[in-house]
């Protein structure tokens, strides 16, 4: 269950994190192994393992995450050049099975990603 992931522990305060934003529905903190000068993870408090496990009831939560990602990027000084990434499943590089948005910026980002 995703409650038992490292992100569940961060949400519960059992593991420290560099938290930059939180509200009733989500929390954002700095990635421990940043892939760019600016790399924040935004997670819902609800323990959804993967994006594909989200249900229609989660629609407003998913919308809230998108809007919050934009707000966090602005507050953290990403300007208007940043990328949101959701790795869904092991084959796509997901290593922590608690849904999270990577907010990445602070350098030029090429496309397509690897
Ligand atoms: P993903 O590979 O998409 O599942 O992303 C998981 C991300 O979590 C990686 O970028 C890791 O660097 C990051 N990460 C893992 N453990 C921690 C932690 N304790 N604090 C902050 N970031 C973490």
Please state the domain extents for the chain.
2-105
| CATH H-level superfamily of 2-105 | HIT-like (3.30.428.10)
Q: Which residue has the tokens 């700095």?
A: 30
Q: How far apart are CA 100 and CA 102, in angstroms?
A: 6
- Atom number of ligand 1 nearest to Cα 85: 3
The pTM (predicted TM-score) of the whole model is 0.97
- Atom number of ligand 1 nearest to Cα 17: 20
The secondary structure of 15-82 as a DSSP string is: S---EEEE-SSEEEEE-SS-SSSEEEEEEESS---SGGG--GGGHHHHHHHHHHHHHHHHHTT-TT-E
- φ/ψ of 75, rounded to 5, equals -65, -30
pLDDT in tens, 90-114: 999 999 999 999 999 999 999 998 7
**Cα 102 to chain center, whole Å?**
4
Q: Is 102 part of the annotated catalytic residue set?
A: no
pLDDT in tens, 45-82: 999 999 999 999 999 999 999 999 999 999 999 999 99
């Amino acid at each position: 269950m995703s409650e038992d992931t490292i992100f569940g522990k961060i949400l519960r305060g059992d593991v420290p994190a560099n938290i930059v934003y939180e509200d009733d529905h989500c929390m954002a903190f700095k990635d421990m192994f940043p892939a760019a000068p600016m790399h924040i993870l935004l997670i819902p408090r609800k323990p959804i393992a993967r994006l594909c496990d989200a249900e229609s009831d989660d629609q407003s939560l998913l919308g809230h995450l998108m809007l919050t990602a934009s707000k966090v990027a602005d507050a953290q000084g990403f300007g208007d050049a940043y990328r949101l990434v959701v790795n869904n499943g092991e084959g796509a590089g997901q290593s922590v099975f608690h849904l999270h948005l990577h907010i990445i910026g602070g350098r030029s980002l090429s496309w397509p990603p690897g």
